[in-house]
Amino acid sequence: MATMKFMCDAERCIECNSCVTACKNANEVEWGIQRRRVVTLDDGEPSEVSISVACMHCDDAPCIAVCPTETLYQRDDGIVLHDKDLCIGCGYCLYACPFGAPQFPKTNAFGERGKMDKCTFCAGGPADTPEEEYQKYGANRIREGKLPLCAEMCATKALLAGDAQEVADIFRQRVVRRGHEDGGWSGNPRRERDRERAGHDLSAADLAHDATRQG
Amino acid sequence: MSITISSRGTRWLMLLVLSLLLTLAVGQPVHAQQADADPGQEAAFAVPAVDADTWRQIRSGETGPNYRDSRADSTYSLINASGETWRQWRNRWVSPFGLIVIGAMLLMIAAFYLVFGRKALDEPRTGRKLWRWPLLVRALHWSVATLFILLALTGLILLYGKAVFHPLFGDGAWAGMMSTTKLLHNYAGPLFGILLIVLLARLLRHNWPRKYDLAWFRKGGGLVGKGHPDAGFANAGEKVWYWLLATVGLVVIASGLVLDFPNYGQGRDTMQWANLIHAVGALGLTAVALGHIYIGTLGTEGSLEGMTTGYVDETWAQEHHNLWYEEIKDQAVPETQLARDEAASPGGDDPAPRSG
């Protein structure tokens, strides 16, 4: 079975925030909640880089591990979903998540946070009817054979979504074209010189660095 | 006319060409330099220097002044690395060891009861009673005790419930149970905190450490050797329980408040730590509380009646709190008289003198 993954190629992201808008629009999420965000590092400096982040649908998801009510669960295809009926708003998923994906509509006294919301990979969530599903979790594009709207909308194809193997293949081709192991992130010759000096292998084997083989 | 115009135009043109040439002449060396440069050198200026080191920095949670997040009011870094640390501490250490500590305590108490049984009074009761716990203290004690048990049970359910009740009940009842559990825990917590502080303040004067408390510890509270070690109004064991509540208890309350009031905008890292401190402290106190409950009810003859009626038997006072007994032994009241007083004014005021 395919394992679904997001991958944001920071070299291509132009910080247009279309993914954020597309997500908001596809899923009609509650006011104040933004499932996807674009983070820009070193804004305005020569080293500026942007990356789009939402739930990364981790293989070993910390949110699932710490949730006291088993609100969060992983489908066979790797998509991490949540059951709004089980959520008690304790906020543990928010403490644990590496990517700041889980969000709550409120942060009131006595831990009144309301029901958690997070990216569903446009795969909806548990509900009796499609209407209820849309109202609670937003679109279920996966059921319709479509990919998450954020990735589909991405103009520079920085944000990739789909079967991990295919995403990795596309990204690997880009990395190879960029010409070195660090091509995933950069084409910085200074860095390359440093690596050469440090005795790293910059030969063809390095060029064909297989991103999918990494753990 | 046309010649004049044309000659004027030529002059303008000449001027333009001259100025262009001048610009080129000045600009030429720059162009030449760039054309000759190493393409790699050029790339070094054109391409952002984002490499593995940058990502390592990000993983450490560093954001910097030029960090931007498109999410409204976001205080998040790109990677929340401490989340995994918190998860590992909570799931690999706190959860299993909390269960081990509480389980071990229950086993020890059960084994102790089976081997030694109830600690009966050595001498028969005299039938004369001593006033020990005024109504206020008893009311506070039972309020705090009820809330403690409620918080301990709901806390345990929040930590371990999913392994037990979810498979048992199925989604529907489980959802209701858990939202009630969290509601009770979050609202009873601050109430418990206030009442515990009042109770601790009320009992402070009985719980200052004394020299004879050391002897009490050496004799293991009477377990080692023969006879009862010296004890005042509170014995050394009770004082330990008092000071555990006055230290660990207050830390558990404080960390609980940090978790209970996210409206003050405390960050994820703060709440991760508060959660660990809260869990470790609360699990420890729950284990010790089991000992306190056992000794106060099943374990010792004559203890529970003090906290329910306010009176203890003279014999009990003499055996368990001999120094206190010496102070107030002349204030003992016969049981029959108490019954008469009770009949005369049911639910009457605390009798004087107050010694609690």
The total number of structural domains in chain A stands at 2
Same domain, B117 and B39: no
Give the DSSP H/E element, type plus range, for residue B11: helix B2-36
Q: How far is CA A212 from CA A8, A174, A175, B271, in A?
A: 15, 13, 12, 35
Record the pTM. Answer: 0.83
Q: List C-alpha distances in Å: B73 to A32, A98, B259, B265.
A: 10, 18, 20, 11
CB contact under 8 A, A51 and B78: yes
For residue B75, is it within any domain? Answer: no
Q: Is the pLDDT of residue B30 over 60?
A: no
Structural domains of chain B, count: 2
Is B58 a member of any domain? Answer: no
Name the nearest CA neighbour of B125 among B342, B353, B335.
B335
Candidates B55, B171, B261; nearest CB to A85: B171
Residues A197 and A93 in one domain: no
Average pLDDT over residues B302-323: 95
Q: For A53, phi and psi rounded to 5 degrees?
A: -130, 140
**Residues 6 or more apart in contact with residue B254 via CB below 8 angstroms:** none
**Cβ-based contacts of A127 with chain B (< 8 Å):** none
Q: Which of A122-131, A203-212, B230-239 has the lowest mean pLDDT?
A: A203-212
**Host H or E run for residue B65:** none
pLDDT of residue B33: 43
Residue A82, judged by CB atoms within 10 A of its CB (0-12, 13-18, 19+), counts as: buried
**Helices (H), strands (E): how many in chain B?**
15, 4
Instruction: Examine the domain organization and report whether B302 and B169 are in the same domain.
Output: yes
Spatial separation of the C-alpha atoms in residues B352 and A181, rounded to whole Å: 86
* One domain for residues B26 and B104: no
Residues A32 and A58 occupy one common structural domain: yes
Are residues A34 and B54, on separate chains, in Cβ contact within 8 Å? no
User: Is residue B6, in this structure, part of any structural domain at all?
Assistant: yes
Residue B269: pLDDT band (50, 70, 90) is very high
Here the ipTM equals 0.84
Query: Would the pLDDT of B27 be above 70?
Result: no
| A132 and A173 assigned to the same domain | no
pLDDT at A183 over 80: no
A186 CB within 8 Å of a chain B CB: yes
The whole-angstrom separation of Cα B312 and Cα B233 is 12
Q: Which two tokens stand for residue A205?
A: 């084997």
**Strands across the sheet with B68-69, in order?**
A49-53, A37-41, B68-69
Q: What pLDDT shows up at residue B349?
A: 52
Would you call B66 and A111 a contact, using CB atoms and an 8 Å cutoff?
no
Q: Based on the fold, state whether residues B40 and B186 are members of the same structural domain.
A: no
Judge if A177 and A125 occupy the same domain.
Answer: no
- Do A88 and B179 form a contact (C-beta atoms < 8 A)? yes
CATH number, domain with residue A70: 3.30.70.20
Q: Are residues B42 and B93 in the same domain?
A: no
Contact B70 A38 (CB under 8 A): yes
Residue pair B310/B347 in contact (Cβ under 8 Å)? The answer is no
Locate the chain B residue with the closest alpha carbon to A42: B66
Position A37: which residue type? R
CB distance from A43 to chain B under 8 Å? yes
Residues A17 and A77 in one domain: yes
Pick from B233, B246, B265: which is nearest to B356 by CA? B233
Q: What is the mean pLDDT of chain B?
A: 87
Q: Does B167 lie at the interface with A, CB-CB under 8 angstroms?
A: no
Neighbours of A33 (CB within 10 A): 17
Contacts of B268 in chain A (CB under 8 A): 94-95
d(CA A115, CA A103): 9
| Mean pLDDT, range B224-242, rounded to an integer | 91
Which distant-in-sequence residues (6+ apart) come within 8 Å of A99 by Cβ?
A: A53, A54, A55, A56, B78, B79, B80
Tokens standing for residue B317: 């006072």
pLDDT number for residue B228: 87
Q: Which positions 237-256 of B are in contact with A (Cβ < 8 Å)?
A: none
Residue in chain A nearest B57 by alpha carbon? A41
CB pairs under 8 A between A and B: 170
Q: Are residues A140 and A168 in the same domain?
A: no
Q: Does residue B178 form part of some domain?
A: yes
pLDDT of residue A201: 65
The residue with greater pLDDT, B56 or B256, is B256
Residue A175 clears pLDDT 50, i.e. is over it: yes
Domain membership flag for residue B281: yes
Backbone phi and psi for residue A51, each to the nearest 5 degrees, phi listed first: -150, 140
Q: Are residues A192 and A134 in the same domain?
A: no
Q: Which domain holds residue B299?
A: 89-344
CATH of residue B328's domain is 1.20.950.20
Cα separations in angstroms, A33 against A24, B56, B226, B273: 9, 28, 68, 26
Same domain as A67, residue A12: yes
Please, which pLDDT band fits residue B356 given cuts at 50, 70 and 90?
very low
C-alpha distance from residue B142 to each of B5, B56, B145, B146, B309 (Å): 110, 54, 5, 6, 12
A126 with A148, same domain: the answer is: yes
Looking at residue B35, its pLDDT comes to: 45
Tell me which chain A residues have a C-beta less than 8 angstroms from the C-beta of B176: none
B165 and B232 in a common domain: yes
Most confident among A74-83, A195-204, B41-50 (mean pLDDT): A74-83
> Are residue A38 and residue A60 in the same domain, yes or no?
yes
Q: Are residues B170 and B40 in the same domain?
A: no
Residue A41 to residue A80: CA distance in whole angstroms: 27
| B123 & B28 share domain | no
Helices (H), chain A: 18-27, 62-66, 92-96, 130-137, 149-153, 164-178, 189-197, 204-207
Distances (CA, A) of A167 to A37, A174, A211, B153: 20, 11, 10, 47
Residues A151 and A51 occupy one common structural domain: yes
Residue-number span of the structural domain to which A180 is assigned: 163-213
Percentage helix, strand, coil, to 5, in chain B?
Answer: 75, 5, 25
- pLDDT on residue A185: 53
Q: Tell me which range, A11-15, B67-71, B104-108, is most confidently predicted by mean pLDDT.
A: B104-108
If asked whether residues B240 and B124 sit together in one domain, one would say yes
Contact B51 A91 (CB under 8 A): no
**Residue B82: is its pLDDT beyond 50?**
yes
Specify whether B12 is located in the same domain as B133: no
B302 & B161 share domain? yes
Q: Which of A49, A96, A191 sits opposite B86 (nearest CB)?
A: A96
